Amino acid sequence: MKRDGALSKIFLVKHITFLGSVALLCCTASVHASLTAEAVLNPNTVSLNKEFTYQVIVTWQGSADEYIIVPPAPEFPEGISSVSSSFFSSAGDNAYLLTYSFILKAAQKGSYTIDPLKISYWEKGSDQESSLRTNEALLEVVLLAAGGINIFWYIIGGAAALLTAILVIALITNRRADKKKGAGTGSAQDADSILESFSQCKECKLQGDFRGFYEHALNLFEQLSPEDIPALEPLQAALEKVQFGGQVPPTHEIDRLFRQLEKAVEQETSDKQNRDAEIAKYCKD
């Protein structure tokens, strides 16, 4: 009887150990399963020699330190060239997202397939590199994209750029109309601050950091016209789309906004220098 009892205990311990191992494997599998990678083309039908975006979106459940992702280096088919690239991350409710964006251009018409991209990563607590693959992406390059959705987005982009230009002109005009003569002693410091913000904005543009570009652009507009901050809501909305929606603004829109900033900063700093010169003249007299 004692021997039978001992055997029963041994069997029970082994059974519990086996169930524990199965549970551990299931938990581990669920963690791996939470890591996903997706390749997205926007749009997937493009005009010849027109820029488009290829994005690799990596997401997982948990905190940012759950995984270390090796930045992907995609290889594109012959006839497609890379213009620029950028990266940003965002966190939500128990979820983390990494977006790698590549601005591309096609020099030849035809149908293209961008093969699944290998994403290498290190899981927290693991000493081995793992990997997963994205889906393949299909692209159609035509002489002139005439799809309704493409025309729609071009119209939206043009309207947004026009609205931004109108807002910039309105902001500058209102500020000049409300300016009072006799600037304070902080004019030189204000001009230096504006120039510094503009320099940071320019650096972000050159580096393809669109999130930083919009943040410094907002800061600049607030310095140029703080009384009209409510009118900056469309620009703030554009920043949120870049920061949380994974959108990459068109190059022509970034260039247009940068030229407007450059002109506004030049005018503002020139006005401040003229006012300082007048104050110095009157004080000397």
For the ranges 5-14, 24-33, 152-161, 199-208, which has the lowest average pLDDT?
A: 24-33
pLDDT confidence band for 77 (50 / 70 / 90): very high
Q: Does one domain contain both 71 and 114?
A: yes
Do 156 and 211 lie in a common domain?
yes
- 152 and 249 in a common domain: yes
Q: Which residue has the higher pLDDT, 266 or 227?
A: 266
In a domain, 25, yes or no: no
Are 88 and 211 in contact by the 8 Å Cβ rule? The answer is yes
Is the C-alpha dihedral spanning 256, 261, 264, 266 positive or negative?
negative
Q: Is residue 66 part of a domain?
A: yes
Look at 104-108, 179-183, 260-264 and tell me which has the smallest mean pLDDT: 179-183
pLDDT at 248: 77
SS3 assignment for 157-218: HHHHHHHHHHHHHHHHHHHHHHCCCCCCCCHHHHHHHHHHHHHHHHHHHHHCCHHHHHHHHH
What's the longest Cα–Cα distance across the chain?
117
Q: How confident is the model at residue 130 (pLDDT cuts 50, 70, 90)?
A: very high
Q: Could you give the number of structural domains in the chain?
A: 2
Which among 142, 162, 196 is the end of a domain? Answer: 142
Tokens of 4: 């039978």
Average pLDDT over residues 263-273: 72
Q: Which domain holds residue 49?
A: 33-142
Indicate if 129 and 233 belong to the same structural domain: no
- Within a domain: 12: no
The CATH number for 75's domain is 2.60.40.680
* Residues 119 and 165 both lie in one domain: no
163 with 126, same domain: the answer is no
Query: Mean pLDDT over residues 198-211, rounded?
Result: 83
Q: pLDDT-based confidence at 249, cuts 50/70/90?
A: confident
Whether residue 178 is contained in a domain is answered as yes
Of 143, 113, 118, nearest to 129 by C-alpha is 118
16 in a structural domain: no
Picking from 108, 126, 142, the residue at the C-terminal end of a domain is 142
Confidence of residue 21 (pLDDT cuts 50, 70, 90): very low
Q: What is the per-residue pLDDT across 165-202, written as a single tens digit (0 to 9) for each?
A: 788 787 776 666 555 444 444 455 677 778 888 888 88
Q: Are residues 40 and 133 in the same domain?
A: yes
Select from 142, 163, 178 the last residue of a domain.
142
Does 90 share its domain with 196? no
Instruction: Evaluate whether residue 53 is within a structural domain.
Output: yes
CB-CB contact of 101 with 248 (8 Å): yes
Pair 105, 195 in one domain: no
Do 205 and 266 lie in a common domain? yes
Q: Where are the beta strands (DSSP E) in 9-168?
A: 36-42, 45-47, 51-61, 67-69, 80-92, 95-106, 110-114, 118-123, 129-133, 137-142
Instruction: Look at residue 141 in the predicted model and tell me its pLDDT.
Output: 94
120 and 165 co-located in one domain: no
Q: Is the pLDDT of residue 5 over 90?
A: no
My answer on whether 76 and 175 are in the same domain is no
Separation CA 221–CA 168 (nearest Å): 8
Both structure tokens of 213: 């570009």
Structural domain includes residue 60? yes
More confidently predicted of 94 and 69? 69
Q: Which comes out higher in pLDDT, residue 162 or 103? A: 103
Answer whether residue 213 is part of any domain.
yes
Strand partners, 47: 142
